[in-house]
């Protein structure tokens, strides 16, 4: 059987609503007889023929996988799995209704990893901002968001993060923010 068909069949058999994103190393485990360059060629062809979609650098999904609108958060959890990460800043403040503009196709994540913006094509982008905050000290002020698969800051923590990162605060309705924090 052709490697692309094998890849597609195995991915369809193991894909679940929780596990639908696959790294290049995940794909390598499905096709163990392919060396690295051959694997990249198979993946490239699978993307070219519409079997796979490149979600972002090194992360793939079946082209017809159901979309939930939470893909950016799931990608963030997968690509930064070894780091302390939580949703914060504009994403949380927008969810709370204290920012007048909604960040469409953009997620802001605080991370113990390096600051970076990850382009996820038509899915949007993920902005990681480095933090040195201590998980233990911060944990009472974070809530696990099961649907997004990441910790999420309270509005107060998101505001602190926004200020400490010296980000634009002009869109924040500080009166509405005060009502939520106090």
- What is the per-residue pLDDT across 34-76, written as a single tens digit (0 to 9) for each? 899 999 999 999 999 999 999 999 999 999 998 889 999 999 9
Same domain, 10 and 41: yes
pLDDT one-digit tens code per residue, 105-155:
999 999 999 999 999 999 999 999 999 998 899 999 999 999 999 999 999
> Where a domain ends, among 17, 41, 62?
62
> Where a domain ends, among 11, 41, 62?
62
Would the pTM count as exceeding 0.75? yes
Same domain, 162 and 79: yes
136: containing domain: 71-181
Q: Has residue 21 got a pLDDT over 70? A: yes
Number of domains the chain contains: 2
Segment among 88-97, 124-133, 166-175 with least mean pLDDT? 166-175
Question: Angle formed by the axes of helices 174-181 and 155-164, to 10°?
Answer: 130
Same domain, 52 and 80: no
Same domain, 37 and 90: no
Same domain, 103 and 120: yes
φ and ψ of 64, to 5 deg: -100, 20
Strand partners, 23: 59
Rounded to whole angstroms, how far apart are CA atoms 156 and 159?
5
With contact defined as beta carbons under 8 Å apart, do 61 and 55 qualify? yes
Rounded to whole angstroms, how far apart are CA atoms 2 and 126?
34
Phi-psi region of 147 (alpha: psi -120 to 50; beta: other; left: phi over 0): alpha
Same domain, 147 and 94: yes
CA atoms within 13 A on the CB side of 82: 2
Q: Has residue 101 got a pLDDT over 90? A: no
Same domain, 19 and 91: no
| Residue closest to 26 by CA, chosen among 1, 69, 67, 61 | 61
Strand partners, 56: 59
pLDDT value, residue 100: 74
Same domain, 144 and 92: yes
pLDDT value, residue 74: 96
pLDDT value, residue 1: 59
Strand partners, 106: 125
| 132 vs 1, more confident | 132
């Amino acid at each position: 059987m052709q490697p692309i068909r094998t890849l597609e069949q195995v991915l369809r058999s193991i894909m679940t609503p929780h596990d639908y994103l696959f790294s290049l190393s995940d794909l390598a485990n499905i096709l163990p007889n392919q060396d690295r360059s051959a694997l990249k060629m198979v993946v490239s062809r699978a993307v070219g023929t519409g079997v796979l979609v490149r979600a972002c650098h090194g992360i793939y999904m079946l082209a017809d996988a159901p979309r939930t609108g939470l893909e950016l958060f799931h990608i963030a959890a997968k690509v930064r799995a070894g780091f302390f990460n939580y949703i914060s800043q504009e994403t949380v403040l927008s969810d709370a209704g204290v920012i007048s503009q909604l960040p469409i196709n953009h997620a802001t994540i605080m991370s113990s990893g390096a600051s970076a913006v990850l382009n996820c094509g038509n899915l949007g982008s993920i902005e990681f901002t480095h933090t040195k905050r201590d998980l233990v000290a911060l944990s009472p002020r974070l809530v696990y968001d099961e649907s997004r698969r990441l910790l999420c800051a309270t509005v107060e923590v998101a505001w602190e993060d926004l200020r400490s990162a010296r980000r634009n605060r002009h869109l924040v309705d500080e009166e509405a923010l005060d009502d939520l924090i106090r």
